[in-house]
Amino acid sequence: MSGRLAVVGLGPGDARWLAPEADAALALADALFGYGPYLDRVPARPGQERHPSDNREELLRAQEALELAARGRKVALVSAGDPGVFAMAAAVCEAIAQGPDAWRALDVAFVPGITAMLAVAARVGAPLGHDFCALSLSDNLKTWATIEQRLDAAAGAGFVLALYNPISRARPWQLGKTFERLRRHLPAATPVVFGRAVGRADERVTLATLAEADGVEADMATLIIVGSAATRLVARPGLPPLVYTPRAAETST
Ligand code: SAH
């Protein structure tokens, strides 16, 4: 019997944002791997084993999933959002690159999901309507100096920024420093969107200017979009403003 590993994106919120292909891959699996709270979002199916793990053990989790698939099982490894965005798909590729030759012959599928920045953007309009880039503020796997260099380069070049992993208990000051850094490149009025737990019951979306943006407004479940100098607001009577980045770049940067 030949095994299979599906690396499945759950989307950022509830089942409405789960792609039909992802749902089918979960239904087909006889063993599920993933970070505990993400696995909890997958409805129970009879006969399906669950292997929850800690958030930090990504490579080990990928190796365990591959090992079981190599023994002939149908395995699904889940990520929140899209598995290719700061998540398990790269860990699986790393594990295959370093692992036994047999893993290279395995049937491995990557099933996309809606990533957090798209869900947050959709709540406010079109902040990612022109060129943008995504950065993780976690300095677990890169140095803080590298992060600052990338913030400078991206903001300096006129990209809108989507910031993943903005803050955690172990990283309390990085987000405040990030806003400080970005103020060197961008106007004080640049719109900043804080999208917390978007698509879930405790969702909260707030808007600030870069001048007032504060590191304490975010937690681990927050995705932040910092506009470019071109990003603007459309005021609406009795409704929150729309945030958008026009499709045409201004001539300069
Ligand atoms: N693979 C995921 C990202 C994993 S990194 C994806 O594609 O979305 C974890 C970070 O994603 C969090 O720190 C937060 O910045 C963001 N995130 C994940 N789910 C979110 C949600 N529902 N609302 C807002 N941000 C979210």
Q: pLDDT tens digits for 88-120?
A: 999 999 999 999 999 999 999 999 999 999 999
Say how many Å lie between the CA of residue 251 and the centre of ligand 1.
33
Distance 95 CA to ligand 1 centre (A): 23
Span 36-73, pLDDT tens digits:
999 999 999 999 999 999 877 899 999 999 999 999 99
Spatial contact of 78 and 52, defined as CB atoms under 8 Å apart: no
Q: Identify which of 54, 64, 72, 71 has the alpha carbon closest to the alpha carbon of residue 32.
A: 64
The first and second tokens of residue 40, run together, are 């909890």
Residue 98 burial (CB count, 10 A): 10
Nearest atom, ligand 1, residue 165 CA: 13
> At 214, is the pLDDT very low, low, confident or very high (cuts 50, 70, 90)?
confident
- State residue 215's pLDDT score: 79
Contact 29, 74 (CB under 8 A): yes
Residues flanking ligand 1, CB < 6 Å: 12-13, 79-82, 85-87, 115-116, 120, 164-166, 195-200, 220-223
Structure tokens at 197: 């737990």
Distance, CA of 231 to CA of 199 (rounded, Å): 24
CA of 202 to the centre of ligand 1 (A): 14
The C-alpha R_g of the chain, in whole angstroms, comes to 20
Statement: residue 188 has pLDDT above 80: yes
Which residue in 118, 157, 123 sits closest to 19, CA to CA?
Answer: 118
Angle at 199 between CA 217 and CA 108, to 5 degrees: 110
What's the DSSP call for residue 168? B
Ligand 1 center to 136 CA (angstroms):
10
Tell me the per-residue pLDDT of 231-250, one tens digit each, with 9 for 90 and over: 999 999 999 999 999 999 87
- Give the ligand 1 atom nearest the CA of 199: 22
pTM of the model as a whole:
0.96
What is the CA(223)–ligand 1 centre distance, in A?
Answer: 6
